[in-house]
Amino acid sequence: MHPQSPNFLLKVIKIYDEGGFSDLLIAAKKDYVQRYNIENKYWGLYEKRETNKPLMALKTNLNQLASHYHTLAQKTKSRLNYREAQRWYRVWLNSFPKDPKAWEMSYLFAEILNEDKQYAAAVSQYESTAYDYKNHKKSAAAGYAALLMYAKREAELTGFEKTQWHRQSIDSAIRFANKFPQHAEANKVLTQAVENLYALGEYEKAHKIALKISVSVKDATLLATAWVVMAHIEFEWMDFKRSENSYAKALKYLPKNAPSREALVKKQGVAVYKQGEISRQKGDLKSAVKHFSRVKSISAEVGLVANAEFDAASALIGLRNWAMAAKVLEGFRRTNPQHKLQADVTKKLAVVYLEKGDIKKASLEFEKVSYLPGTASYQIEALWQAAELSEQNNNQRAKKLYADFVTRFPSPLERAIEARQRLVELNERDKEIFQAAKWRIELVNADTRGGNQRTERTQYLAANASFALAEPVFDSYRKAKLTIPLKTSLKIKRQLMDKALKAYGRAASYKIPEVLTASTYRIAEIYQDLGLAIYNSERPKKLNEEELEQYDILLEEKSYPFEEKAIEFHEVNVSRFADGLYGVWVWKSLEQLKEFLPVRYNKKERNDMIVMEIL
C-alpha cells in the first residue's frame, strides 16, 4: 500500500464537498474511515510524518460523520440515524482515546445515547466522561447527568434488577458529591443518597455520610434531613440519648409548619420514653422517673404522654414515694378520663393512698376497684378492703359497704356471713339494736340456706347469732310477772317461755360448745324462773290464814316440777365435763347445782373429783 493512497481518496472527498454532492460526500467519508480505520496495517508501515495528514483526516471525518448523523437523528428521530451516530462516536473514541478532545466526543456520545433512550449505556458513558478524563468543563455536568440516567433506567426495571440498579445509583451519587463538592446539586445529591442508604438499611454508611453533611452544609432543609436520618438510625441502634439530641437538631432546622414535624416530635418523645424504660430495666428508678416525666415537655402526643405519666407513677411507687405517685396518678386521671389505663390507675391509687395513710381516699379507690372488670375473687377482696378501711373512721360508710358486699357477693357463703357479722358488730357499736338484730336474723337465715357451702365458721357465727337473738326473748320472759288472775298471767308467761325455749333450742342445735352450754344453762334458768315465779306469784287478797297456807302449799307443789327440770338441765351441762367441755357456762351450772342439791354437789370431795377429772 502506497503512502499516498489515502490522499487520493481525500481528494475525491474534497471534490464532492466543493461540488455540493452531500450524499456522495458522506459515502466517500464512510469509505475513507472504513478503509483506513485505526486497526488498518497502513498506520504501521510508514513513519509518522508521512501518515500525519491521513490520520488527521481520519479523526476529522469520524467527527463529521458522528455530527452529521447526530444532527440527522435529532431531526428525524430515526432509530437508524441514532445508531449510526453512536457507531461513529464509538469508533472515534476507540481510535483516539487519549486525544485532548476525547472528553467532548464522550460527552456527545452520552448525549445521543440519552436521546435514544438507551439509559443504561448513557449512564456508563456519562460516568466515563465525568471520571475517566482530567477535569474539564463538562465533568460535573456529566456526573450529574449520569444520576439522571440512573433514575430513568430504574423506572424501567422491577424486582432484583431494580434494587441492584438503585444501589449503583447511590454509589454514583456519593462519588459525584465527593468529586464535585462545588456543584450546585452536590449537597442535595449526597443528602438524597443518605436517605436512600437509610431506606436500604445500610445504617453505618448512611450515618457516617449524614454526620459529614451536618458539619459541612449550610442549607437548613438538607441539614434537617441529615439530622433526621441520624436520629432514626440512632433510634434503631437503641442509642436513645443521641437520638433525642439528633431529633432536636432536626427540628431546629425544620420549618414550623412542616408536615413531618409532628411525627418527629413524637419520635423524639419516644426516644426520651425509651431512656426511661432502659433506666427502669437497670433498676435506676430515679432516672426512670426523670425521663418519663420529661416526655410531656417534649411531645404532645396524648397516648405517649399518658403512658409516660403512668410509668413515672409506677416507678415512684417502686421508690415508695407515695405523695408524688399520688400526684402523678391524680393528674393522669384528670387529663385522660377515657384512657384504657384508668382501671390500673384506680388500682394503683388504692395502694398508694393506703401506704400514704389516707384511709378515706384508699377506701373510696378500693370500692371503685371492686367494680372494675376482673375475677370475682379480686372484686371481693377490693370491696372487703374498702369496708375494713372505712371501719377506722366512718362506721356509716363501712355499714353501707358491707351491706353492698352481701348483695353483690352472696357467694362464697363464708365471706358473706362474715360481712353480716361485721354489720352486727358495727350496729351494736352504734347502739343500733334493731339493725343489729336484723343482720343477726339475716346471718342465721343465710347459713340455713347455705347447703354445702356451710363451714364450721358460718355455723359458729350462726350459733352465736341465734343465741344473741334468744337473749331478748329470755329477758321478756323473765320480766313477765304472775298476777291475779293467775291462770291468765301464767298462760302469757308460758307462751313467752315456749318462745325462749325454742330460741335457745335453735341455738343449741348448732352444737357449738360454748353456745350449746350457754343455751343449756339458759334453758335451766327458764325452768327455774317459772318455778320461782309460780311460787312467788301474787296471792288472792280475800284468803284467810288457813286458806293462804293451803294456797302456798299448792303453789309449792306446782313449782316443784320446774325446779326439777332446771336441775335436770344443769346436770346435763355439768355432765359435759366428761366430754372435755370446761366453759364458763358449765361451771355456772355446777354452782347452781350446789344451791339446788348442796348435799350432793357442795361436798369438797365431790368438787375435788370434778377438778381431778378436768386435770
Please, how many CA atoms are within 13 Å of residue 125, restricted to the half-sphere of its CB? 24
Give the chain's end-to-end CA distance (angstroms, integer).
150
User: How far apart are alpha carbons 50 and 94 in whole angstroms?
Assistant: 22
pTM above 0.85, yes or no: no
Question: In this predicted model, what pLDDT tens digit does every residue of 555-594 receive, in sequence order?
Answer: 788 888 888 999 999 999 998 888 887 889 999 988 999 9
Average pLDDT score over residue span 90-119:
95
Q: Return the DSSP state at 258.
A: -
Per cent of the chain over pLDDT 90 is: 76
- Quick check: is 577 in a domain? yes
**pLDDT for 582:** 80
pLDDT above 90 for 442: yes
Look at the chain and report how many structural domains it folds into.
1
596 burial (CB, 10 Å; 0-12 / 13-18 / 19+) is middle
Look up residue 119 and give its three cell numbers.
439509559
Question: In this predicted model, what pLDDT tens digit does every residue of 174-212 receive, in sequence order?
Answer: 999 999 999 999 999 999 999 999 999 999 999 999 999
- Quick check: is 165 in a domain? no
Q: Return the DSSP state at 605.
A: H
Question: In this predicted model, what pLDDT tens digit does every residue of 222-270 receive, in sequence order?
Answer: 999 999 999 999 999 999 999 999 999 999 999 999 999 999 999 999 9
pLDDT above 50 for 614: no
User: How far apart are alpha carbons 61 and 101 in whole angstroms?
Assistant: 15
- Quick check: is 413 in a domain? no
Which has the higher per-residue pLDDT, 241 or 21?
241
Which residue, chain included where needed, has cell 451516530? 85
Short-list 419, 536, 511, CA closest to 456: 511
CA angle (49, 50, 51) in 5-degree steps = 95
Confidence of residue 86 (pLDDT cuts 50, 70, 90): very high
- Quick check: is 310 in a domain? no
Q: What is the residue-wise DSSP string for 403-472?
A: HHHHHH---SHHHHHHHHHHHHHHHHHTT-HHHHHHHHHHHHHHHHTTGGG--HHHHHHHHHHHHHHHHH
Q: Which residues contact 279 (CB under 8 A, 6 or more apart)?
A: 285, 287, 288, 290, 291
Short-list 220, 215, 212, CA closest to 193: 212
The SS3 assignment for 228 reads: helix
Domain of 577, in residue numbers? 471-614
Residue 290: count other Cβ atoms within 10 Å of its Cβ: 16
**pLDDT for 47:** 65
- Quick check: is 541 in a domain? yes
**pLDDT for 615:** 38
Maximum distance among all Cα pairs of the chain, rounded to whole angstroms: 192
Q: Which residues contact 88 (CB under 8 A, 6 or more apart)?
A: 33, 62, 65, 66, 69
Q: What is the mean pLDDT of the chain?
A: 92
pLDDT above 60 for 500: yes
pLDDT above 80 for 1: no
Confidence of residue 6 (pLDDT cuts 50, 70, 90): confident
611 burial (CB, 10 Å; 0-12 / 13-18 / 19+) is exposed
Average pLDDT score over residue span 154-170:
95
Which residue, chain included where needed, has cell 385522660? 336
- Quick check: is 512 in a domain? yes
Omega before residue 540 within 30° of 0, cis: no
Distances (CA, A) of 538 to 238, 272, 486, 493, 555: 101, 95, 8, 14, 11
- Quick check: is 592 in a domain? yes
Question: In this predicted model, what pLDDT tens digit does every residue of 274-304 receive, in sequence order?
Answer: 999 999 999 999 999 999 999 999 988 889 9
User: How far apart are alpha carbons 102 and 95 in whole angstroms?
Assistant: 10
User: How far apart are alpha carbons 370 and 274 in whole angstroms?
Assistant: 33
- Quick check: is 484 in a domain? yes
